[in-house]
Structure 1
């Protein structure tokens, strides 16, 4: 795991002992959304469109996603007391906000966190923006934007930026910036980040200083999975990645 100097975009600190770090950093992707369901079906059938008319930011959880968020709250409640987050940073998108709200309510109902635990919404944790490809199925991209599909294959996922959208590396830049504030605000305390698949992926990329090949070899981040890093000797060291064992009772493998 890199030192905080990596997180701070190359600005080194002189005293490692004084490096501000949360004691534990837990990251999760939101529960299954209604769009996850529709796009999975579209990929299976080759459909050119999905029945979604709202903004990406306004897409809610599916019923299964709500169940997954409850399971996440139960997992949270079962953590050792010193590891249970009392601070939550969350994407402002509806599916992430609903996940945080449901998980907090579940953990609070089990007496493990305070009732009404506040949530800090941060736009830097929002989902990757896809620009002209927003809400398009893979079949639609291939048919209507073949030049973009070809450019994506040539550039690779880390550096491909759709017109009006973001590359993975663009997301990494805002993740680095957000981490700087998280580390300063949550020094010595456990914290939970509720975000999106690419944000969690880029969080690991930044914290563990992965190469492009290592990043692309990672499996997709699952809905309501748990990834955990712990502060040790001025660094954040990974203990869990994309763990979904706690979802066994929610009738899902967490992969949607």
Structure 2
């Protein structure tokens, strides 16, 4: 099968965003363990692979008029592995495959010298940084890193491209929790205060599905951080 797309559609009607499955860095961070690795090369755990497969099964069960016809994927290994496992399930179910592109703007927030450091290590090595972040959570840039506002700025181009896309009706983005969060801000016109409240309540989990439906004045959230399809272990 080859990827398909409709011609001359009005605009993107449905947008899906999937956070990658559990990664080795996710496990290390939860255990307050330091991991030394290039962020782009961090892969999925066994559970992360099962989560990605479950996401693929969820998409494979959709009606044809709900399946994505375009996939935009983060360049990071954990996101690309997630998409590959989703695609595998679509192939197994003999579903039409969407066109697939790696979009360099969808990489995870770059935390510079703080990348993959658990909080105790940050407090030990960079004692001034936690207070700086607390004063401006969205604008704070770690040493050699980028702020959450920087993430939002590079996503503006992605959202603008979606608004101008007249060849695809349903788009799937496979990326990271920060990407999902700031897609919500841009698509739903959320304030910084609302974004911080969402972050405090908990970011999108590994293998979760978020979706929006186009309306006359933008996009309306359909589901956020949906995890009912995921395996428990």
Same topology, TM > 0.5 = yes
Residue 188 of structure 1: how far off its partner (Å): 4.8
Q: Secondary structure at the match of 1:142?
A: helix
Q: Which residue of 1 aligns with 2:61?
A: 78
Instruction: Tell me how far apart the structure 1 counterparts of residues 166 and 109 of structure 2 sit (CA, whole Å).
Output: 25
Residue 177 of structure 1: how far off its partner (Å): 0.9
Residue-pair matches, total: 223
Q: Which residue of 1 aligns with 2:172?
A: 192
Residue 53 of structure 1: how far off its partner (Å): 3.0
Over 3 Å counting, the alpha-carbon distance change for 1:66 and 1:238 in structure 2 is: same
1:25-104 matches, cutoff 5 A: 25-42=15-32, 49-50=33-34, 52-104=35-87
For the aligned residue pairs, the C-alpha RMSD in angstroms reads 1.8
The answer (yes or no) to whether the contact 2:159–2:186 under 8 Å persists in 1 is no
Gaps (5+ residues) in structure 1? 1-18, 43-48
Residue 211 of structure 1: how far off its partner (Å): 1.4
Instruction: Name the TM-score, length of structure 1 as normaliser.
Output: 0.82
The answer (yes or no) to whether the contact 2:70–2:168 under 8 Å persists in 1 is no
The answer (yes or no) to whether the contact 1:20–1:183 under 8 Å persists in 2 is no
Q: Which residue of 2 aligns with 1:23?
A: 13
Aligned with 1:163 (options 138, 143, 149) = 143
Q: Which residue of 1 aligns with 2:3?
A: none
Instruction: Tell me how far apart the structure 1 counterparts of residues 207 and 183 of structure 2 sit (CA, whole Å).
Output: 15
Aligned with 1:175 (options 134, 151, 155) = 155
Instruction: Tell me how far apart the structure 2 counterparts of residues 105 and 230 of structure 1 sit (CA, whole Å).
Output: 26
The answer (yes or no) to whether the contact 2:17–2:174 under 8 Å persists in 1 is yes
Q: Which residue of 2 aligns with 1:119?
A: 100
Aligned with 2:93 (options 103, 110, 113) = 110
Aligned with 2:112 (options 123, 131, 143) = 131
The answer (yes or no) to whether the contact 2:188–2:218 under 8 Å persists in 1 is no
The answer (yes or no) to whether the contact 1:23–1:187 under 8 Å persists in 2 is no
1:23-64, Cα deviation, whole Å (9 max, x unpaired): 11000110000110111111xxxxxx52x3320000000000
Residue 21 of structure 1: how far off its partner (Å): 3.1
Q: Which residue of 1 aligns with 2:218?
A: 235
Gaps (5+ residues) in structure 2? 1-8
